[in-house]
Structure 1
Amino acid sequence: MSCNHGYSFRYPETCHFSCNHGYHLYAGSTSRTCRADRTWSGSAARCCPGGYKYYQPSQLCYKAFNQQSDYTSAAATCSSGGGTLAIPRDAGINTFLINLKNAVDSKAWFWFGLTDRDQEGSWVWADGVALGHFNQWGPGRPDNATKNEDCALYWPQKDNKWSDFPCSETSLKFICQVGT
């Protein structure tokens, strides 16, 4: 995001913002005025890459990809765009991601950023933070049934609850998140 006139402003000058090439404005103001109290009017502009949707409570942008991939390749795709696999850390984000993926393919399984690859049973988000209290595991999950089910997915046949699955499975779609 850039301000058209530079970075030094005085009261009552106005800055006009625009998103960087390939990004789109999803929230906030494209113009903000320097106030006498040294604050800015309006709310900060939030820009997301093309195809991504902004979710205000997390202040992140998300995209459900309609392409199949294993977990590692999906994570690499997210990383190449400056993000990670999506992290449904609370009920609000989880619902937003389910709606996002369902708009792409309501019957497909989708990877998100949760794994226990480093230590069986110790689930960690894509940003390295431990799972915590919120989860939406499906009935009897995680179960590590095949002894290598280390990556999490949305399970549409069970109301989009979470399930564990082999990370090497290539038939899943995925959801990425990036900062604004």
Structure 2
Amino acid sequence: MAKILDRLLLFLYSLCIGILSVIAILLLSGAIPDSYEALDRPEAYIAAIAVAVILFLLSIRFFYISLRRDRASLPSVDQRTEYGDIQISMETIENLSLKAAGKVKGIRDLKSRIRVSQAGLEIMIRAVVDGEHSLPLLTTEVQRQVHEFVQETTGIPVADVSVYIANLTQSPSFKSRVE
């Protein structure tokens, strides 16, 4: 929220300074006639134009900064250890949770979403099951596997693992032909 407010203020500031510097440049260059003669010495006149041009260039730079997207920071979980900083991308945590859930027999077509809360990671797993196993046992096993694997591998506390069973797969039925 603070970053958005900072960008908005920077945008408004650069817009105002840009407009004022353009007006000053036009007034000083004589493009807009003024009714009074404020600058009687040529040194002051040149200095005023230089300041107006510098302010205009700065306002263009600030305007660009306020509008560009911050592509450098990808979503990650940051940890501080005694040796330094560690950043683990959200994509890595998603892949770890998918790997752990995929080890459970009867689970197919996995998708995961990760959210970071004050208590730790909140992992949401979406799965399709084969329908041959007990759903409560299957989902409990997925929760346990994902919780233990992600927490052990990353060292980040896992607060919650939610499992959503989206559908059942139809297992192909083979009838034996007896001749």
| TM-score bracket, shorter-length normalisation | under 0.3
Q: What is the TM-score normalised by the length of structure 2?
A: 0.24
Task: Please report the TM-score for the alignment, with normalisation by the length of structure 1.
Answer: 0.24
Q: Which has the higher helix share?
A: 2
Greater relative contact order: 1 or 2 (C-alpha under 8 angstroms, separation 6 or more)? 1
Q: Which has the higher strand share?
A: 1
- The structure number with the bigger radius of gyration is 2
